[in-house]
């Protein structure tokens, strides 16, 4: 068992660095449409739905999940998803966390009750998608999801639990699906420890549903200097989805895009189903091109100017815009070249023991949403839970 002093020390470092998996932007002005009502909302989330004027039926829908200590409006201002939607004709749906669920506005990617199909926050996001489809008549075959960090990990949750809903996804500085079910596990996985064997990673997604159809495509983005969610998480995510798509370890194609390395895996029909961008020297955040004349991308806390627009390139990968501007130089792999893929077989898989109970202390300054009431706790457990909640890792 991890010593209490170790857990508290990690929490202190995490809080000082910006309170964990995510970013900032919660205090910025709001420019998105008001929240909408949708479904039963068992995860007690908010939804912000944006549609360009005159959007025709049959348009694509992009679901966006912000990071910790961020809001939908702040993340949109930095990444420019609604600006891109205006230019190319698609709808944008922002799921937004509430402080009653997580003190630092993190999506609860490590809570078992929020990451299963038809439960908690995952079901709330699914209900938002259904509302958007009914309201805007978006194309059910072109629904996509992307997110940063905790939002990136929640993106992996949505792709795993609703592969029949999403055609594609993009995970930025996130984690694989199903690797953490307790607070200590969440800390360890962010540090790249105990992610599990290759086979176990794949099985976690396969066992999430009874899905028998094609799997969504996936774009993975990670900074090489990320110390919050270390790059081995991005490699483990690639391992997870290569297994689902039955792809080999070596990429089909390696190229340079806007000065950054891009790896591509194609299926038997030549379709690009998996891609990975490794952003050299980038820390923890969403890469944007803040100097671009098109006005899409503004740097901020955990939205980092890297001279490459993840928003543009993700949309291009999904096929909902034309090819983004960017100089490319193809690099033909040699016979012996291999992508730097993490070998996970030597790591111990996370324990499958019974899940621990959830937190039991009401959040400060508010009441629990319906269906999430808790009972008081005391003693050492209370000390730990207060610290975890302060870091945004417990509700």
| pLDDT per position as a tens digit, 65-97 | 999 999 999 999 999 999 999 999 999 999 999
pLDDT at 332 over 50: no
Lowest mean pLDDT among 193-202, 222-231, 349-358: 349-358
How far apart (Å, rounded) are the C-alpha atoms in residues 370 and 54?
37
Please tell me the pTM assigned to this model: 0.80
User: Which residues are catalytic, by number?
Assistant: 149
Tens-place pLDDT, residues 20-30: 444 444 455 68
Work out the average pLDDT over 278-294: 96
- Indicate the pLDDT class of residue 263, thresholds 50, 70 and 90: very high
Angle at 255 between CA 157 and CA 21, to 5 degrees: 30
Q: Identify the structural domains of the chain with CATH numbers, from first to last.
A: 4-390 (3.40.50.1820)
pLDDT at 365 over 50: no
Angle at 116 between CA 187 and CA 316, to 5 degrees: 80
pLDDT at 255 over 50: yes
pLDDT for res 322: 73
Secondary structure of residue 63 in the 3-state scheme: strand
DSSP string for residues in 256-299: EETTEEEEEEE-TTS-EEEEEEEETT--SSEEE-TT-TT-----
- Do 296 and 83 touch, CB atoms closer than 8 A? yes
Work out the average pLDDT over 307-331: 76
Element housing 79 (H / E)? helix 72-79
Work out the average pLDDT over 304-324: 91
Percent of the chain with pLDDT over 70: 74
């Amino acid at each position: 068992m991890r010593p209490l002093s170790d857990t508290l020390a990690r929490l202190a470092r995490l809080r000082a660095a910006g309170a964990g998996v995510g970013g900032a932007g919660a205090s910025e002005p709001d420019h998105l449409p008001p929240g909408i009502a949708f479904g039963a909302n068992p995860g007690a989330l908010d939804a912000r739905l944006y549609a360009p004027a005159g959007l025709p039926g049959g348009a694509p829908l992009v679901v966006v999940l912000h990071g910790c200590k961020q809001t939908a409006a702040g993340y949109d201002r930095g990444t420019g998803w609604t600006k891109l939607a205006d230019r190319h004709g698609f709808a944008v749906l922002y799921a937004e966390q509430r402080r009653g669920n997580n003190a630092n506005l993190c999506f609860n990617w490590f809570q078992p009750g929020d990451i299963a199909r038809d439960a908690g926050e995952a079901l709330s996001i699914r209900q938002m998608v259904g509302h958007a489809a009914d309201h805007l008549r978006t194309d059910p075959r072109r629904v996509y999801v992307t997110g940063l960090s905790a939002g990136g990990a929640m993106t992996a949750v949505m792709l795993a639990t609703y592969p029949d809903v999403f055609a594609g996804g993009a995970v930025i500085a996130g984690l694989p699906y199903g690797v953490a079910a307790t607070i200590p596990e969440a800390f360890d996985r962010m540090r790249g420890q105990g992610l599990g064997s290759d086979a176990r990673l794949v099985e976690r997604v396969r066992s999430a549903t009874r899905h028998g159809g094609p799997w969504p495509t996936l774009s993975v983005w990670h900074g090489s200097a990320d110390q919050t969610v270390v790059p081995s998480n991005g490699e483990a995510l690639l391992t997870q989805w290569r297994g689902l798509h039955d792809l080999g370890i070596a990429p089909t194609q390696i190229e340079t895009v806007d000065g950054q390395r891009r790896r591509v895996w194609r299926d038997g029909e030549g379709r690009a189903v998996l891609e990975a961008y490794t952003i050299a020297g980038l820390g923890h955040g969403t890469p944007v091109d803040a100097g671009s004349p098109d006005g899409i991308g503004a740097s901020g806390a955990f939205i980092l100017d890297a001279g490459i627009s993840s928003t543009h390139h993700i949309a291009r990968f999904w096929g909902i815009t034309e090819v983004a501007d960017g100089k490319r130089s193809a690099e033909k792999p040699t016979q012996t070249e291999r992508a730097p893929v993490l070998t996970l077989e030597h790591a111990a898989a996370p324990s499958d023991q019974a899940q621990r109970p959830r937190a039991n202390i009401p959040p400060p300054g508010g009441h629990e949403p319906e269906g999430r009431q808790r009972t008081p706790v005391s003693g050492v457990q209370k000390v730990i839970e207060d610290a975890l909640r302060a870091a945004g890792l417990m509700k």
